[in-house]
Amino acid sequence: MSDRDPSGLTSAPDQEASARKVADRLAAEALIVDVDGFEGPLDVLLMLSRTQKVDLRKVSVLQLAEQYLSFVTKAKALRIELAADYLVMAAWLAFLKSKLLLPPDPQAEGPSAEEMAEHLAFQLERLEAMRGAAAQLMARDQLGRDTFARGISEEVTRTKKVTYDASLLDLMQAYARVRTRDEFRPYAFDRRNLFTPEQALDRLRAMIAFAGDWTDLESYLPDGWTENPEKRRSATAATFAASLELVKQGQIQIQQTDTFAPISIRKSR
């Protein structure tokens, strides 16, 4: 069974194996020295010299150089910049030892051995601070190991389909609305050309008592209202509304023989 879960994230055994590989690589890249009174990485030797746990005056530069040359031969198969770093470190260490062994020269230029040792201590403190900061960063939760980001959301595809269901009448009405949209004007009329339903009702009640058989509705329009189109429409509508009211009251009867045929009325019998 595979150690990798279906989500594609590295499992715990894989993480441990990766950590071991990193540790092995770091161990292989470390220059281990074995000189008088000390055995371990070269950078640790520098740190111990700062705390006076190792006396640089007792360190054999010859042994240090021989071990360095042996390490450089192996380091060529790793990284050339790694060998260069250790070369600088070993050369500076040998130079510092020579300064400490020789008596101070009053006419010599540059920093003294004590100042160089203090500078070394300062650099080692910075190295220790950087290592501490790196350890704190590595101790924090890491994405993919301790915390896991949300996966990519499923893509949703939406298709919009518009269906029109309209009859011929709907199309004609829509076309008419578009055509008349810009042509619409509020209707303004002259009140002098208005014949109210109340006036038509009073006139129809007075005239129907003397009416004979079926009589055309237009004969009940007021005099002088048939020549003007606006007056004619107003009087016809008002008289027709009045006739419907009298039919409702049972006073008259109304009929129309065909569509758009003249409307006739007579007194109820």
CB 38 within 8 A of CB 93: no
Residue 173 inside a domain? The answer is no
Q: Do residues 28 and 120 share a domain?
A: yes
> Residue 135's domain spans which residues?
17-139
Residue 147 inside a domain? The answer is no
- CA atoms within 13 A of residue 144's CA, in its CB half-sphere: 6
Residue 184 inside a domain? The answer is no
Q: Do residues 124 and 213 share a domain?
A: no
Q: Do residues 124 and 215 share a domain?
A: no
Q: Do residues 134 and 27 share a domain?
A: yes
- What's residue 167's pLDDT? 87
Q: Do residues 24 and 130 share a domain?
A: yes
What residue type is assigned to position 219 of the chain?
A: S
- What's residue 111's pLDDT? 75
Across the strands, what pairs with 38? 35
Domain count, the chain: 2
Residue 162 inside a domain? The answer is no
pLDDT: which is higher, 130 or 39 = 130
Containing H/E element for 39?
Answer: strand 38-41
- What's residue 86's pLDDT? 63
The answer for 37, left when phi > 0, alpha when psi is -120 to 50, beta otherwise, is: left
- What's residue 2's pLDDT? 39
Cα separation, 251 vs 209, whole angstroms: 10
Residue 252 inside a domain? The answer is yes
Q: Do residues 125 and 215 share a domain?
A: no
Residue 176 inside a domain? The answer is no
Residue 216 sits in a domain whose CATH number is: 1.10.10.580
pTM, two decimal places: 0.33
Q: Do residues 131 and 202 share a domain?
A: no
Containing H/E element for 120?
Answer: helix 113-139
Its sign, for the CA torsion 143, 145, 147, 151, is positive
